[in-house]
Structure 1
Amino acid sequence: VGLSAHGGWASQAHVPALAALPDAYELRALSASSAETAKTAGERFGVPLAFGSVEELVERDEVDLVVVTVKVPHHHELVMSALAAGKTVLSEWPLGNGTAEAQEMAAFAHSRKLRGFVGLQARSAPSVRYLRDLIADGHVGEVLSTSIIASGDSWGPTFDDGGAYLIDRDNGATMLTIPLGHTLDGLASVLGSFTELNATATTRRSTVRHQRTGELAAMTAEDQIAVTGILEPGAVASLHYR
């Protein structure tokens, strides 16, 4: 769901990954915002079934797993449609726009005895898995502390057409929910989850500028996030996203 001939995460990440596993998966169907765009994407990627709505896609017997790769505000509707049709679902992270949506989807899948997955891919990256193995084997001894400083450029002083929805906190696609979430999951896979933490999140730039037009827009998403705490083995962790 969301595979486009004009770019996007599905075409940049999911399709190349599936193509690298030809014996494991077959890309049988796609749905887009309209029948016309779906047809164009189907021709571009060689997908035999192309639909203008998710309802048409999830009812097809040929489909076993539905992958949701659209913007966060649409996850709930699409995931629930797939689950209602009895399909296994892989949704991009974050699963829902807020905890309540995510809990509702998870509970619905559980009630129907369906399996669901969320695309937190950092823990699957070969470099991260290798680092995890080195730590587990005692390569550096006991880890006393760790620090991460990272930048979320989509929440800087400018935004583009595709990123306009990211700066509105109510859309659920913020620096806190997307890159910080991915980073924390990767950290947890290597050094363990937090057992206690303190965090500060604030918006230092309340107004940002469109890259092309110069038009000003309000930004309500947090652009400064600092987290400190203790991980499961006892290591002290500090993380600053800005």
Structure 2
Amino acid sequence: MTPTLRAGIIGTGFMGAVHSHAVRAAGSAISAVAGSSQASAEAAAAKLGALTAAGSAEELIARDDVDVVHICTPNATHADLARKAIAAGKAVICEKPLATSVEDARELSGLADQAGVVAAVPFVYRFYPAVREARDRIRAGEAGRLWLLHGSYLQDWLAGAEATNWRVDSQLGGASRAFGDIGVHWCDLMEFTTGHRITRLMARTSRAYEQRETGGSLSPVATEDGATLLFETDRGATGSLVVSQVSPGRKNRLWFSFDGTEASFSFNQERPDTLQIGRTDSSTDIPVGPQTLSTPGGRRYAMLPPGHPQGYQDSFNAFVADTYAAVQGQEREGLPTFRDGLRAALLTDAVVTSAAQQSWVDVPGTGNTLDPFKSSPAVERQKQ
């Protein structure tokens, strides 16, 4: 019998709670949690169902009863913690961005491969059944030739100058906020679903507020509230993306339309129970469920009958379950790894550069054109 994996969660905020739910859904235990202080760790241990509170992140990583380290801390701390976890031989799930610089992301991707550990980044929108259904149908040729890839990712949690968060601080969150935080999710989803890769882009960033309230006073804002992109892909398509964290009424609206010569595929994350397929003679809304989806990918992740929507936490649960299966030597197609985290860092750097230069810029590749999961030395080593 394969032993149950044991998790250690670093970070006590919203994402730490999301990770804890997913760990339990995978049938695993949370051995320890670490926070910014012993007090915060102890409070989180009770809330998240951890067996104990670790005195520090380093103490948690070193524990013998932690097999998988979950990094759910502010962005600027990710690279250092991921290095330490890899050096300890632990499997790692690191929140995105993997790192706030391309150099760190590239180093971490290489270190994970060299160490032979499973290292994943939660690009969890890949795990919606409707997305997997669209991917399988596009790969089967139902769309024809994809030529226009467009969409948006809109939120409103930073609407209002009084709204703030550590992500607004470029020292903690990185040089890009709106794109680096949520735009990379859309780009990952587009590339994963269509098989296209962005090769060139033109970006503009903007702010709704030049100052935000911090500690009772207004402070200048260095990061963007929104971004708009035009891009080209390696397979001859063009596309556009609008990203905003200040769009009132849009809570978490990740929407795409991938348009081919024969059909278009559209999905809205705020209504995840439907995949829309458009053709010149019809438009079909397919309800999500194991009885209504037709492809292996769609059916694999559809756990409930149609009319019972699966949402963000369900997709996160599926991501963690697949990661844990990979740690135990099982192959899981489409698992997002540190190489995908590097890809996100390259795209973010291109957006920042393009916005600063007001010009088109090229987006380099990650150095490996194969499926990142299937080519991972960690997976092959786990199978042996």
Q: 1:145 to 1:53 in 2, by over 3 A?
A: same
SS in 2 for 1:90: strand
The CA deviation string for residues 186-213 of structure 1, in whole angstroms up to 9 with x for no partner, is 0111112335322223334461333995
Contact 1:155 / 1:175 at 8 angstroms: preserved in 2? no
Paired position in structure 2 for 1:168: 169
Q: 1:124 to 1:145 in 2, by over 3 A?
A: same
Contact 1:157 / 1:208 at 8 angstroms: preserved in 2? no
1:71-220 counterparts in 2 under 5 A?
71-154=74-157, 156-161=159-164, 163=165, 165-170=166-171, 171-172=173-174, 174-205=177-208, 207-210=210-213, 213=216, 215-220=217-222
Contact 1:192 / 1:231 at 8 angstroms: preserved in 2? no
Percent of matched pairs sharing the same residue = 26
Q: 1:197 to 1:154 in 2, by over 3 A?
A: farther
SS in 1 for 2:97: coil
* Unaligned runs of at least 5 residues, structure 2: 1-8, 245-384
SS in 2 for 1:119: coil
* CA–CA distance in structure 2, aligned partners of residues 210 and 2 of structure 1: 28
Q: Which is worse superposed, 110-119 or 183-192? A: 110-119
Paired position in structure 2 for 1:43: 46
The CA deviation string for residues 51-106 of structure 1, in whole angstroms up to 9 with x for no partner, is 12012111111111101011101112211221222212110111011112212222
Contact 2:226 / 2:242 at 8 angstroms: preserved in 1? yes
* CA–CA distance in structure 2, aligned partners of residues 28 and 83 of structure 1: 18
The CA deviation string for residues 40-59 of structure 1, in whole angstroms up to 9 with x for no partner, is 22222331132120121111
* CA–CA distance in structure 2, aligned partners of residues 109 and 141 of structure 1: 37
| Total equivalences in the alignment | 234
1:230-241 counterparts in 2 under 5 A?
230-241=232-243
SS in 2 for 1:147: strand
Paired position in structure 2 for 1:2: 10
Q: Which is worse superposed, 151-160 or 220-229? A: 151-160
Paired letter, 1:2? I
Structure with higher RCO (Cα < 8 A, 6+ apart): 2
Contact 1:154 / 1:166 at 8 angstroms: preserved in 2? no
TM-score for the superposition, normalised by structure 2 = 0.55
Paired position in structure 2 for 1:67: 70
The CA deviation string for residues 153-174 of structure 1, in whole angstroms up to 9 with x for no partner, is 355553535x1x3223343161
Contact 1:90 / 1:117 at 8 angstroms: preserved in 2? yes
SS in 2 for 1:93: coil
* CA–CA distance in structure 2, aligned partners of residues 134 and 110 of structure 1: 31
Contact 1:42 / 1:48 at 8 angstroms: preserved in 2? yes
Q: 1:44 to 1:156 in 2, by over 3 A?
A: closer
The CA deviation string for residues 111-167 of structure 1, in whole angstroms up to 9 with x for no partner, is 433332222212122222122123223444333312213324355553535x1x322
* Unaligned runs of at least 5 residues, structure 1: none
Q: 1:140 to 1:109 in 2, by over 3 A?
A: closer
Q: 1:189 to 1:66 in 2, by over 3 A?
A: same
Contact 2:93 / 2:121 at 8 angstroms: preserved in 1? yes
TM-score for the superposition, normalised by structure 1 = 0.84
Contact 2:134 / 2:193 at 8 angstroms: preserved in 1? yes
* CA–CA distance in structure 2, aligned partners of residues 44 and 144 of structure 1: 48
Match of 1:18 among 20, 23, 26: 23
Match of 1:28 among 26, 31, 41: 31
* CA–CA distance in structure 1, aligned partners of residues 35 and 169 of structure 2: 24
Q: Which is worse superposed, 106-115 or 180-189? A: 106-115
Contact 2:35 / 2:56 at 8 angstroms: preserved in 1? yes
Contact 1:192 / 1:232 at 8 angstroms: preserved in 2? no
* CA–CA distance in structure 2, aligned partners of residues 61 and 212 of structure 1: 41
Paired position in structure 2 for 1:229: 231
